[in-house]
């Protein structure tokens, strides 16, 4: 017996999904609400529905408004490809490229710019007041493409600004058990902005070449960001969360060139673990605003130089005294992380400074233990080829000079911390009367 709760956008009688899939999906949601209008029918009544996007290119000119639970919007392919690489290839070479645009089940966001209100520029806007919270909305296995970035008044070519006023998914109201799995997001100023999340799962997505990738706003609890491939622009965050508890950030591969890899503000009792984090700037992981009782463990940090010609003059505004990992908060544990600082000593800012790896800026009772720092002085090179330049930089491990670094710096406002085996005595800068220290043995020392 076929289900009447499964919809194919290409078979729906209202609208043209290729011209405006937003109109089609809104019409389908209206039909679901009309048919499922009783809350209790034989211990059920509102099972929700699946909306299917077959592979194809679907322009979205009307924002999709979601205010029902148990809705799953799914496609057949995340369709990501690098628009940034393509837009930085000379235009006369485009005819020789195998593809020009992302593919799969692809939604093209054709909404007007909304610089004054990011929610207005969202392809999918989720909001419902009242009780209970909207629950179990799922986005799965399709692509949301912002198509182009726009000029921002800088000297950058417009396609490199990460600015266009477009958002992929914006959740405005308190929500429970949302899932965003297997998606592709590309060329959006904000890929995901989610307020007041409870038990949110963001898993196995490709979220890259967006101004900011994941933003958890307001407050939330018991959510996870796992097994994603992520890379924001230099103006935004790859992963940002505020006022969350019990947040799990694990097994993500975070690419450059976000202003930060992970930025937590007022986050408590959460974990950043087993991630591979790569950045061209200091300020890779930031625990700010009294973020406390968090675990930062067994991550791989790599900070090196931007090798791709179009972005050589771009940075996040932080100097090398800031630290790759900075902590403002209490009773955090930083255990078993690997840090590779592979930079040209001539590029250090301020000139002549000693770069900082871990910085405790404020708080008490933090534990920094068994972290390994590799610091190398290399000659920075660049290339017009994004892929080959980055791969060559990643694989280069040969004959480099050692680079003097401060492995751990404890500012006066941070006290009663324990630092164990995370730098030699000379590499740990801390008041020994206010903090407990056991240095890593130095060879020959």
CA distance 353 to 114: 42
Please give the structure tokens belonging to residue 120. 């207005």
Structure confidence at residue 97 (pLDDT): 87
Angle (nearest 5°) at CA 96 between 93 and 102: 95
Structure confidence at residue 381 (pLDDT): 63
CB 260 within 8 A of CB 286: yes
CA distance 184 to 283: 26
Q: What is the DSSP letter of 308?
A: B
Question: In this structure, how many other beta carbons lie within 10 angstroms of the beta carbon of residue 126?
Answer: 23
pTM of the shown model: 0.95
Structure confidence at residue 388 (pLDDT): 54
Lowest model confidence (mean pLDDT) among 53-62, 135-144, 300-309, 416-425: 300-309
Structure confidence at residue 1 (pLDDT): 41
Structure confidence at residue 13 (pLDDT): 97
Q: What is the DSSP letter of 428?
A: E
Structure confidence at residue 86 (pLDDT): 81
Q: How confident is the model at residue 49 (pLDDT cuts 50, 70, 90)?
A: very high
Helix (H, G, I), strand (E, B) or coil at 33: helix
CB 423 within 8 A of CB 437: no
Lowest model confidence (mean pLDDT) among 58-62, 241-245, 312-316: 312-316
Sign of dihedral through CA atoms 411, 260, 224, 69? Answer: positive
Q: What is the DSSP letter of 345?
A: G
CA distance 137 to 124: 11
Q: Is the confidence at residue 98, as pLDDT, over 70?
A: yes
Q: Is the confidence at residue 433, as pLDDT, over 80?
A: yes
State the average pLDDT over residues 276-302: 98
Please give the structure tokens belonging to residue 22. 């937003």
CB 305 within 8 A of CB 311: no
Residue written as token pair 């940034």 = 84
For residue 310, report the phi and psi dihedrals to the nearest 5 degrees.
Answer: -60, -20
Residue written as token pair 């909305």 = 137
Structure confidence at residue 90 (pLDDT): 82
Q: Is the confidence at residue 385, as pLDDT, over 60?
A: no
- The pLDDT tens digits for 244-267 are 999 999 999 999 999 999 999 999
CA distance 65 to 177: 18
- The pLDDT tens digits for 280-289 are 999 999 999 9
CA distance 183 to 229: 10
Structure confidence at residue 83 (pLDDT): 85
Structure confidence at residue 197 (pLDDT): 98
User: DSSP letters along 64-124, please?
Assistant: EEE--SSEEEEES------HHHHHTS-GGGGGG-S-SS--SEEEEE-PPP-TT-GGGGEEE
CB 302 within 8 A of CB 275: no
Structure confidence at residue 301 (pLDDT): 98
CB 223 within 8 A of CB 199: yes
Q: What is the DSSP letter of 23?
A: H
For residue 393, report the phi and psi dihedrals to the nearest 5 degrees.
Answer: -65, -40
Query: What is the average pLDDT score of the chain?
Result: 93
- The pLDDT tens digits for 195-210 are 999 999 999 999 999 9
User: How far apart, in Å, are the Cα atoms of 49 and each of 4, 16, 140, 194?
Assistant: 8, 20, 13, 22
Question: In this structure, how many other beta carbons lie within 10 angstroms of the beta carbon of residue 401?
Answer: 10
Structure confidence at residue 37 (pLDDT): 93
Lowest model confidence (mean pLDDT) among 92-101, 163-172, 321-330: 92-101
CA distance 109 to 22: 9
Structure confidence at residue 437 (pLDDT): 98
Which distant-in-sequence residues (6+ apart) come within 8 Å of 87 by Cβ? 157, 159, 160
User: Radius of gyration of the chain from Cα atoms?
Assistant: 24
């Amino acid at each position: 017996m076929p289900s009447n709760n499964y919809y194919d956008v290409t078979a729906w009688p209202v609208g043209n999904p290729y011209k405006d899939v937003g109109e089609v999906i809104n019409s389908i949601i209206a039909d679901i609400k009309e048919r499922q209008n009783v809350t209790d029918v034989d211990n059920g009544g509102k099972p929700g529905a699946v909306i299917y996007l077959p592979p194809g290119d679907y322009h979205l000119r009307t924002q999709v408004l979601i205010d029902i639970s148990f809705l799953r919007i799914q496609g057949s392919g995340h369709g990501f490809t690098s628009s940034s690489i393509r837009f930085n290839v000379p235009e006369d070479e485009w005819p020789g490229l195998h593809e020009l645009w992302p593919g799969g089940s692809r939604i093209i966001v054709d909404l007007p710019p909304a610089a004054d209100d990011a929610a207005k520029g969202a392809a999918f806007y989720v909001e419902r007041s009242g009780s209970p919270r909207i629950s179990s909305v799922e986005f799965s296995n399709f692509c949301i493409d912002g198509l182009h970035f726009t000029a921002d008044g800088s000297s950058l070519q417009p396609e490199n600004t990460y600015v266009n006023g477009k958002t992929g998914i914006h959740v405005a109201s308190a929500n429970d058990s949302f899932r965003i799995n297997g998606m592709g997001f590309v060329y959006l100023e904000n890929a995901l902005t989610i307020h007041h999340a409870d038990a949110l799962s963001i898993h196995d997505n490709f979220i890259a070449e967006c101004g900011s990738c994941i933003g958890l706003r307001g407050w939330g609890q018991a959510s996870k960001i796992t097994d994603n491939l992520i890379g924001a622009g230099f103006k935004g965050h790859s992963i940002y969360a505020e006022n969350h508890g019990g947040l799990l950030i694990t097994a993500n591969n975070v690419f450059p060139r976000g202003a930060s890899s992970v930025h937590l503000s007022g986050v408590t009792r959460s974990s950043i673990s087993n991630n591979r984090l790569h950045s061209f700037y200091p300020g890779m992981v930031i625990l700010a605003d009294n973020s406390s009782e968090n675990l930062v463990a067994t991550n791989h940090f790599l900070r090196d130089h931007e090798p791709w010609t179009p972005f050589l003059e771009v940075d996040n505004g932080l100097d090398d005294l800031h630290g790759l990992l900075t902590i403002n908060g209490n009773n955090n544990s930083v255990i078993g992380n690997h840090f590779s600082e592979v930079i040209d000593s001539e590029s250090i800012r301020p000139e002549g400074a000693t770069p900082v790896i871990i910085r405790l800026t404020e708080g008490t009772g933090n534990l920094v233990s068994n972290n390994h720092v590799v610091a190398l002085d290399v000659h920075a090179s660049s290339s017009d080829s994004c892929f080959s330049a980055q791969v060559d930089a990643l694989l280069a491990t040969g004959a480099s000079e050692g680079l003097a670094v401060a492995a751990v710096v404890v500012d006066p406002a941070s006290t009663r911390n324990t630092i164990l085996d995370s730098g030699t005595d000379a590499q740990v800068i801390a008041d020994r009367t206010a903090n407990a220290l056991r240095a890593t043995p130095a060879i020959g020392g």
